[in-house]
Amino acid sequence: MARDADDQAIKGAYRKLALQHHPDRNPGNHQAEESFKEAAEAYSVLGDPQKRSAYDRFGHQGVSTAAGNGGFDGAGFPDLGDILNDVFGFGDVFGGSRQRRNRAQRGEDVRYDLEISFEDSLRGLTADIQVPRLEECGRCKGKGAEPDDGLVTCPTCRGRGEVIYQQAFLSVRRTCSQCSGRGQIIRRPCKECKGDGYLRRERKLKVNIPAGVDDGNRLRLSQEGQPGANGGPPGDLYVVLKVKEHAFFERRGNDLHCTIPVNVGQAALGADIEIPTLEEPYRLKIPEGSQNGAQFRLRHLGVPPVNGGGRGDIYVHIEVQVPTKLTREQRKLLEQLRDTLPVENQPAEKSLLGKVRDYFM
């Protein structure tokens, strides 16, 4: 695809893809989840000019190293092979490689909860987040031991990483429990990381949040999770959005709903009221004789379409307020009004109850 291809068109295409493959729409479908991750990642790259230029120059790798990092409380997905090996010792029984403890492992995925305002969710924003994550200790290169003589050969397995048991006629290999299969143990822990091999660092990161995101949406930042082990790639960082509630707008899909109170006079005679929108306030003309519950639709002033499709609408619901405290003069005027209005106190037909007129603007 041409490097200077129309950004909007590309973004639109990825949005559509992400929507199509969103995990919420494809529960349990791993293919869809992978496709979603890729589309979301491509989208996040396109949304960030810095990332994009890195991506264009270096590809995938450029992006993951140009910006840094991730945080904790991440729920990792353990490798199934590891589970089988550790629980059932399959690798040992079948003479599995004794180096398996040292093979490359992908880092854990990390979840970061980010609360944003309702307005920001509609307009989009670039958020600066600070995410704690583990980084390999530079002093010991992740080994956890003092560089020169911190490591010694494991006395239990004599460096082989495994021990062999004789069970009946079966000879069973087991990973050495003292060194966890590494063949070496730490004699002098690294002074820098106290033997962990990792250091906890706060990393700053920019997250591009597209306009129109909803509560619970997840953004994936590829390879910004915990570092991998033994040269494995880092995990991913998932930013999970929490959108604060708005004072008077309620979101339903891509539509926004609000309730505007009007007094009896305004409802009967009509009124001009100002409705706040994402852009300029909208002057809504309420026609005379508007009933309680009347609904007005302001087309294409709702939520921008992050998931494809068109922009939503704003629905204004009218609530006619009957005055409860009257001055002497107001009471007199209302009494005059009452005496001139026709009295219709017969029970209304059921089918008419709750009927609301829609006005389409």
Query: Please, what is the minimum distance in Å from the beta carbon of residue 245 to Zn ion?
Result: 46
For residue 234, what are the CA distances in angstroms to 129, 176, 196, 238, 285? 19, 27, 17, 13, 57
Q: Select 157 or 237, whichever has its Cβ closest to Zn ion.
A: 157
How many angstroms separate the CA atoms of 220 and 64, rounded? 12
Do the beta carbons of residue 83 and residue 209 sit within 8 Å?
Answer: no
How many angstroms separate the CA atoms of 171 and 295, rounded? 79
Q: Select 63 or 190, whichever has its Cβ closest to Zn ion.
A: 190
Query: Please, what is the minimum distance in Å from the beta carbon of residue 150 to Zn ion?
Result: 9
Q: Select 158 or 355, whichever has its Cβ closest to Zn ion.
A: 158
Q: Select 109 or 162, whichever has its Cβ closest to Zn ion.
A: 162
Q: What Rg do the C-alpha atoms of the chain give, in angstroms?
A: 32
Q: Select 21 or 101, whichever has its Cβ closest to Zn ion.
A: 101
Query: Please, what is the minimum distance in Å from the beta carbon of residue 68 to Zn ion?
Result: 19
Task: Find residue 255's DSSP bridge partners.
Answer: 252
Query: Please, what is the minimum distance in Å from the beta carbon of residue 234 to Zn ion?
Result: 18
Q: Select 154 or 318, whichever has its Cβ closest to Zn ion.
A: 154
Q: Select 32 or 199, whichever has its Cβ closest to Zn ion.
A: 199
Strands 255-263 and 314-321 turn out to be: parallel
Query: Please, what is the minimum distance in Å from the beta carbon of residue 172 to Zn ion?
Result: 16
Rounded (to 5) percent helix, strand, coil in the chain: 25, 30, 45
Sequence-distant (6+) residues with CB within 8 A of 319 are: 259, 260, 261, 262, 292, 293
Query: Please, what is the minimum distance in Å from the beta carbon of residue 188 to Zn ion?
Result: 11
* Amino acid making up residue 207: V
Query: Please, what is the minimum distance in Å from the beta carbon of residue 135 to Zn ion?
Result: 11
Neighbours of 299 (CB within 10 A): 12
Q: Which residues of the chain form contacts with Zn ion (CB under 5 A)?
A: 137, 139-140, 154, 156-157, 176, 178-179, 190, 192-193
